[in-house]
Copies of this chain bind each other. A is one copy, B any other.
Amino acid sequence: MGFEITNKILENLTTYIDTKNDAAISTLFAEVHYADIAEVLDEIKFEEAVYIIKLLDSETTSAVLMETDEDTREKILKNLTAKEIANEISELDSDDAADMIAELPEERQEAVMSKIEDEEHVKEIEELLSYDENSAGGLMAKELVQVNENWTVLKCVKEMRIQAEEVTRVHSIYVVDDAGKLKGRLSLKDLLVASTRTPISEIYIPKVDFVNVIDGAEDVANIMRKYDLEAIPVVDDHQVLLGRITIDDIVDVIKEEADKDYQMAAGITQDVEADDSILELTKARLPWLFLGLLGGIGAFIIMESFHGVFEKYAALFFFTPLIAAMAGNVGVQSSAIIVQGLANDDIKGSINSRLLKEMLLAALNGIILALFLFLFVWLSQGKIALAIAISVSLVVVIIVAGLIGTFVPLFLNKRGIDPAIATGPFITTSNDIFGILIYFMIAKMILVL
């Protein structure tokens, strides 16, 4: 598969840049895919990256820039003039162009836009910038091939040739009426077989999947995945064709969404990578840890208030990490299944039936685990009342943890909040505290402390 970044290549590159050997750099990258060049730029010093971007032609560098890490891109763009950025953007499809503009600091956006020569392109970018970035409008490109239902095959083929120049991959030919409303799509095969004077209205396929411009990015991803689509047209409320979304952008949405949910479940608040700086990683990790610290202090306060019974039932205190761990684990398990089900649009039925199911499930798991713990405590401590108290508490704690883990993401989702924040440390911490509190309260009742 051709190119692989080696230390040798990176060393050579530094030498070429130091000696301003532009010809050697151009030769080095001549046959290299833009995604590979982007990886090189992510590895080298940003001054070197800027040098390379300024050296290579905009057709290549615009594609390269869209593939680099966001941090790298931000640093490079900072070192380009408005005119230089405008040149990059002129080479990009409207969706990528709008994304690049959106990443610029607001005060630069206008300066760059005013330097783009193609008026049509500017108008398209402005339209795309007006949509929410997590909606179909924020994902779509304006470039597509559309034909009018009233055209003949001959006119259609002629127009298609012109339009196809602008479009990287054609995928589908969309048919619209005079008002621009999406009517259907055209198969290339039918087009080639039909006589040149046939009107398009006679040969187009009226059945076509589409999404509304305000539909959420995740919904679009679910639809394209479900129906195995490689492109989908985007319309407004009046069914007017506005743009289209291609599968490569959806692949990125699916991947980013999955990465984000995974990081949330692991207690990482921002989009970070293993190669980010220690400061960035600290910012992403410290908040949840701090929450965990507060939770731990909460547990401390609860335990301290039961302090007096230590002499009689010391073992009770030694099982608190076990209780906290089980509450945390059960909570994470049940919330993760709900969060994943919500993301995949799999959760049907009422919240109550979910809670009932989770209660039965948690009770089943809890009883099996509690039986084991009962035997351990009874045999090791020789106190049957203590063994009963601890194992009954465990069952109740597991049931409550499961219910919290199920209810919180469903509740957040109903309120329009991303349920993924309810996984990981959030659930673990709250379940730790609830768990220990319930545990001591039940033990108190059973042991008549």
On A, residues with C-beta under 8 Å from B are 1, 31, 33, 35, 67, 169, 207, 209-211, 223-228, 230, 247-248, 250-252, 254-255, 258-259, 261-263, 265-268, 272-275, 278, 281-282, 285-286, 288-290, 292-293, 295-297, 299-300, 303-304, 307, 310, 314-315, 317-326, 328-330, 332-333, 335-338, 340-341, 344, 346-348, 354, 357, 360-361, 364-365, 368-369, 372-373, 376, 423-425, 428-429, 432, 436
29 inter-chain pairs at a CB distance below 8 angstroms, sorted by A residue, are A35-B228, A224-B251, A225-B248, A225-B251, A230-B248, A254-B258, A259-B344, A266-B336, A266-B423, A267-B333, A268-B333, A273-B341, A273-B346, A275-B346, A281-B337, A285-B365, A286-B369, A288-B333, A289-B329, A289-B333, A289-B369, A290-B369, A292-B322, A292-B325, A297-B322, A299-B322, A300-B319, A325-B328, A332-B424
Q: Which residue of chain B lies nearest to A330 when distances are taken between CB atoms in the complex?
A: B289
Q: Which 10 A-B pairs have the closest CB atoms?
A: A296-B322, A266-B336, A258-B258, A274-B341, A303-B318, A299-B321, A228-B248, A321-B324, A300-B318, A292-B329
Q: Contact at B251–A326, with CB atoms within 8 Å?
A: no
A432 to B329, CA, bound (A): 12
Q: Contact at A361–B278, with CB atoms within 8 Å?
A: yes
Q: Which residue of chain B lies nearest to A405 when distances are taken between CB atoms in the complex?
A: B266
Neighbouring B residues of A330 by C-beta, 8 Å: 285, 289
Q: Which residue of chain B lies nearest to A215 when distances are taken between CB atoms in the complex?
A: B1
Neighbouring B residues of A297 by C-beta, 8 Å: 322, 373, 376
Q: Contact at A321–B296, with CB atoms within 8 Å?
A: yes
Neighbouring B residues of A428 by C-beta, 8 Å: 325, 328-329
**Nearest Cβ on chain B to A77's Cβ, whole angstroms:** 21
A259 to B423, CA, bound (A): 14
Q: Contact at B230–A230, with CB atoms within 8 Å?
A: yes
Q: Contact at A227–B307, with CB atoms within 8 Å?
A: no
Main secondary structure of the interface of A (DSSP, over half): helix
A424 to B262, CA, bound (A): 11
Q: Contact at A319–B296, with CB atoms within 8 Å?
A: yes
Of A267, A297, A369, the most chain B CB neighbours within 10 A belong to A297
Neighbouring B residues of A263 by C-beta, 8 Å: 336-337, 340
**Nearest Cβ on chain B to A40's Cβ, whole angstroms:** 13
A310 to B304, CA, bound (A): 12
Neighbouring B residues of A286 by C-beta, 8 Å: 365, 368-369
Q: Contact at A365–B296, with CB atoms within 8 Å?
A: no
The residue from B223, B268, B292 contacting A1, defined by CB atoms under 8 A apart: B223
The residue from B227, B266, B272 contacting A35, defined by CB atoms under 8 A apart: B227
A33 to B326, CA, bound (A): 44
Neighbouring B residues of A247 by C-beta, 8 Å: 230, 247-248, 251
A62 to B297, CA, bound (A): 58
Q: Contact at B282–A361, with CB atoms within 8 Å?
A: yes
Neighbouring B residues of A360 by C-beta, 8 Å: 278
A158 to B156, CA, bound (A): 25
**Nearest Cβ on chain B to A269's Cβ, whole angstroms:** 10
Q: Contact at B325–A429, with CB atoms within 8 Å?
A: yes
Take A333-B268, A429-B325 as given contacts and tell me if A357 and B278 are in contact as well, using a CB distance cutoff of 8 Å.
yes
Q: Which residue of chain B lies nearest to A335 when distances are taken between CB atoms in the complex?
A: B266
Q: Which residue of chain B lies nearest to A225 when distances are taken between CB atoms in the complex?
A: B251
**Nearest Cβ on chain B to A383's Cβ, whole angstroms:** 14
**Nearest Cβ on chain B to A13's Cβ, whole angstroms:** 16
**Nearest Cβ on chain B to A72's Cβ, whole angstroms:** 13
**Nearest Cβ on chain B to A283's Cβ, whole angstroms:** 10
